[in-house]
């Protein structure tokens, strides 16, 4: 499961943010979760900075 889960109003789309620092990478389990979540319509992003988080939120809102 992702580090941060949320629901985007008003559409109810699941948001999944995986937080990484430095040179950290997703584990195999995290990659499997990403693929499963996206397959079922979730918005998923790996976040490495606050700028990444802000961009991901904006992308989720605009459907990018």
9: which 2 tokens? Answer: 């109003």
- What is the number of domains present in the chain? 1
pLDDT of residue 41: 93
Distances (CA, A) of 24 to 32, 39, 40, 48, 50: 17, 24, 26, 9, 16
pLDDT tens figures, 13-61? 999 999 999 999 999 999 999 999 999 999 999 999 999 999 999 999 8
**Domain around 17:** 4-62
pLDDT tens figures, 15-25? 999 999 999 99
Residue corresponding to tokens 């789309």: 13
Helix (H) / strand (E) containing 35: helix 28-39
Is the backbone of residue 33 left (phi > 0), alpha (psi -120 to 50) or beta? alpha
pLDDT of residue 62: 86
């Amino acid at each position: 499961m992702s580090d941060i889960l949320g629901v985007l109003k008003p559409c109810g789309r699941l948001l999944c943010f995986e937080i990484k620092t430095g040179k950290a990478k997703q584990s195999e389990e995290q990659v499997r979760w990403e693929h499963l979540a996206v397959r079922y319509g979730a918005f998923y992003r790996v976040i490495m900075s606050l700028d990444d988080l802000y961009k991901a939120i904006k992308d989720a809102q605009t459907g990018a």
